[in-house]
Amino acid sequence: MAGAAQTTRIAIWDLPTRLFHWLLAGLIVFAWWSAETDHLAWHKMAGSCVAGLLVFRLWWGFFGGSTARFACFLRGPKTVLAYLSGKTDKTGIGHNPIGALSVVALLLTTLVIVVAGLFAVDTDGLESGPLSAWVDYDGGRLASKIHGYAFEALEILIGLHILAILFYTVIKRRPLVPAMIHGKALGAGDDTPLKPGGLLALLIGLVLGGATAAGLIWLSGKS
Amino acid sequence: MKLKPTVISLGILATTLSIATTALALDAAAVEKARSDYFHSLGKASKGLRDELSKGSPDAAALKAYAANIAQIAPNLPAQFPAGSGPESGVKTEAQPNIWTDGAGFKKDADGLASAATALNAAAQGGNIDAIKAAAGNLGQACKTCHTTYRKEDH
């Protein structure tokens, strides 16, 4: 780091946020593969785990580490436009204003997929989501279509996500993937450092997420 | 001998015309609508059975009614696929062309559904929940087997 006296490696992502990210990425790929290959029991298990991860992430977005909090990374349209036009490059550590929108879009779309999947009914009326008994056949078929279309939207969002990472890595020379692995990145010395989430908040989040996943896996096995 | 190709051509032309006339006579849109309604009723009955089975203590009378309904609907499947009602008719359908080009394979799968439905009905009238669950699983497998080969998935 010669000649960069004012830049130091600082922590930007806490461990729970990084684990959430990679577990989610892996489970989405597995869920896609298990659906394509008709392993519906595995698919439902993966979906249940994704639901648990989402519950954890929503909780962590309010009570987690500073860069994981929605209140910390969501900015108004003015800041987003200023960032896009290149007027402000300095946005502190964590998600930039556009990345923040991407995070919200990815989380919301995944949430739609999971919720629709809970109620989805296959065309034969037999393979169905764990809560499909709450809706009639037509409602379940509609949920199944939403489940499929929302996944197509997610595929596009994941594509944009990967393109953005490539753009930052190759053009802007800011490798984002290593930061999501070890949690550190080069930052200016005057950046507000990452404030990690509390242990109690972490435990509560784990219990909420774990209970969601376990409950849905149990329901899937029953039906 | 010189006439032969002409005779063959005429023969081909006549066959083409007769196929075209049949296709014209067939209201593919109406067939598709009836087909869609048919699978809708089959899916609805299957879901009803499945939901009943997933209850803590399924109602035997309800199971019997669903299974009898399925057994009644299932054998009518081949009738939903008259020649000329495939995607070549221009109607938007999930039916794949191989339903007609591989008629024997399709009939085998349709028969598989009919016998699975008959077995399910027998199990339901018998009243053993585990036997009904197993039979319902076989019915689902019969649906899946045919859909994999002959149905174009749209979500």
Q: Is residue A1 part of a domain?
A: no
CB B95 within 8 A of CB B153: no
What single string gives the DSSP state of each residue in A2-56? TT-TTEEEEE-S-HHHHHHHHHHHHHHHHHHHHHHTT-HHHHHHHHHHHHHHHHH
Asked whether this complex has an ipTM greater than 0.90, the answer is no
Domains of chain B: 28-150 (1.20.120.10)
Q: Is residue A194 part of a domain?
A: no
Q: Does residue A93 have a pLDDT over 90?
A: no
Q: Is residue A54 part of a domain?
A: yes
Neighbours of B98 (CB within 10 A): 13
CB B86 within 8 A of CB B93: yes
Q: Does residue B154 have a pLDDT over 60?
A: yes
CB-based contact, A222 to chain B, within 8 Å: yes
Closest partner CB to A124 (pick from B43, B48, B54): B43
Q: Does residue B150 have a pLDDT over 90?
A: yes
Closest partner CB to B43 (pick from A123, A133, A222): A123
Q: Does residue B130 have a pLDDT over 80?
A: yes
Predicted pLDDT of residue A169:
92
Tokens 């489940």 appear where? A147
Please report residues of A whose CB lies closer than 8 A to that of B49: 125
Q: Does residue B2 have a pLDDT over 60?
A: no
Domain extent for A36: 9-183+199-222
Q: Which helix (H) or strand (E) holds A186?
A: strand A184-188
* Ranges B23-37, B42-56, B135-149: which has the least confidence: B23-37
Q: What is the pLDDT of residues A165-210, one digit of tens each?
A: 999 999 988 889 999 999 988 877 677 888 999 999 999 999 999 9
Predicted pLDDT of residue A126:
79
Q: Please state the domain count of chain A.
A: 1
Q: Which helix (H) or strand (E) holds B111?
A: helix B103-126
Q: Does residue A75 have a pLDDT over 90?
A: no
The CATH number given to whatever domain includes residue A62 is 1.20.950.20
Closest partner CB to A133 (pick from B51, B143, B148): B51
Give residue A87's pLDDT band: very low, low, confident or very high (50, 70, 90).
confident
Q: What is the pLDDT of residues A119-139, one digit of tens each?
A: 999 888 878 999 999 999 999
CB-based contact, A137 to chain B, within 8 Å: yes
Q: What is the pLDDT of residues B67-98, one digit of tens each?
A: 999 999 999 999 999 999 999 999 999 999 99
Q: How far is B61 from chain A (nearest CA, A)?
A: 18
User: 3-class SS at A188?
Assistant: strand
Which stretch, A5-14, A73-82, B16-25, has highest mean pLDDT? A73-82
Q: Is residue A192 part of a domain?
A: no
Predicted pLDDT of residue A3:
41
Give residues with Cβ within 8 angstroms of B140, minimum separation 6: A124, A126, A127, B46
Give residues with Cβ within 8 angstroms of B83, minimum separation 6: B22, B26, B100
Q: Is residue A149 part of a domain?
A: yes
Of the candidates B131, B150, B138, the residue with the CA atom closest to the CA atom of residue B112: B138
Predicted pLDDT of residue A90:
66
Residue of A nearest to B142 (CA): A124
Q: Does residue B5 have a pLDDT over 50?
A: yes
Q: How far is B144 from chain A (nearest CA, A)?
A: 8
Q: Is residue A3 part of a domain?
A: no
Give residue A217's pLDDT band: very low, low, confident or very high (50, 70, 90).
very high
Which of B40, B41, B50 to substitute to test the interface with A, most A CBs within 10 Å? B50
Q: Does residue A223 have a pLDDT over 80?
A: no
Please report residues of A whose CB lies closer than 8 A to that of B50: 125-126, 128, 223
Q: Is residue A216 part of a domain?
A: yes
Q: How far is A28 from chain B (nearest CA, A)?
A: 17
Q: Which helix (H) or strand (E) holds A136?
A: none
Q: Is residue A56 part of a domain?
A: yes
Residue of A nearest to B148 (CA): A38
